[in-house]
Amino acid sequence: MSKHVLAQNQYGKAENRIVAITRKGSDGSWHEIRDLNVSVALRGEFRDVHLTGDNGNCLPTDTTKNTVYAFAKEHGIASPEAFGILLAKHFVSSQPVIHEAQIRIEEFAWDRIPVPTRKEQHSFARKGQEVRTAQITYGGSSGLQVISGLKDLTVMNSTNSEFHGYIKDRYTTLQEAYDRILATKVTARWASSATAAEDTEHDWDRSYKKVRTHMLEAFAETYSYSLQQTLHAMADRVLDNVPSVNEVRLNLPNKHHFLVDLEPFGLKNDNEVYFAADRMYGLIEGTIHRDGVRPVIATSDWITA
């Protein structure tokens, strides 16, 4: 018997890649695509598996993988959130030794390539770099938690951004800016209310589009004196306009753009030519939640991103 204590643990199958095609129309010639990366993590009565190698309470990770693919066929994929809810509830309800399940999903979007000369529409182009995400945690008596999100959404304001009046000490060399480029690659996560999570009719696709729209509108419409101010405005706009969302967490790296010195060439650079730096970068992070609501996103991570 080990003299040490087994603490928090979980296991599962990570990054199950699945592309599901739904054929619509009387002849099935209109195709819809869901392209997902699904990770499963389970918690429960797994002490003996670790300490003695007794696998009596171990559901094989291969089984969790098979379940993902079978559920895509049996239930379809209405949205990443809805699919994750089905999977999480299945694992907890089907095996008494499993007390909690977390499903993390990335969705890769595709744009349709229209072909006017044919009836069939089944050609697609991968859509940009933005990736939709979803994380579903279910623990039976502890309830259902749904955290939606996106990552790798790069945005830019070419003006209407300043940065000045900051602390200056002996190591400060940054010049104050009164007209600068503000650019960032957005990683956003938002927690839905318990009511929305438990609503089997909740339209997760519509909710995702609304949150994304309000974040982008706030980014574009905010005259920014700091990326922190912009972060708060983006989250605030979501909470003001999407009642089903209780909490928004944003990760915004500052994609720095520096004016190029063109004076050696006898040229004036009037905020027209910039050097785009990818290293190093400022990293601005923050969580905004409704008053009286306990934040959950910061403590919800199981699977390493």
Q: Active site includes 119? A: no
- Per-residue confidence (pLDDT) for residue 111, from 0 to 100: 85
Q: Record the pTM.
A: 0.89
Contacting residues for 175 by C-beta, under 8 A, at least 6 apart: none
Active site residue 256: yes
Over residues 86-140, the pLDDT tens digits come to 999 999 999 999 999 999 999 999 888 777 777 776 667 767 779 999 999 999 8
Architecture of the domain made up of 9-141: Roll (3.10)
Whether 13 is catalytic: yes
Domain with CATH 3.10.270.10 in the chain: 9-141, 143-305
CATH topology (fold) of 143-305: Urate Oxidase (3.10.270)
> pLDDT value at position 280?
78
pLDDT of residue 301: 65
Catalytic one of 13, 202, 255, 289? 13
The pLDDT of residue 153 = 92
Please pick, among 31, 61, 63, 122, the residue that the annotation labels catalytic.
61
pLDDT score recorded for residue 161: 94
Point out the catalytic residue in the list 65, 255, 256, 289: 256
Question: Residue 300: its pLDDT value, please?
Answer: 63
Task: Report the share of the chain in percent with pLDDT over 90.
Answer: 82
Q: Which residues of the chain have pLDDT under 50?
A: 304-305
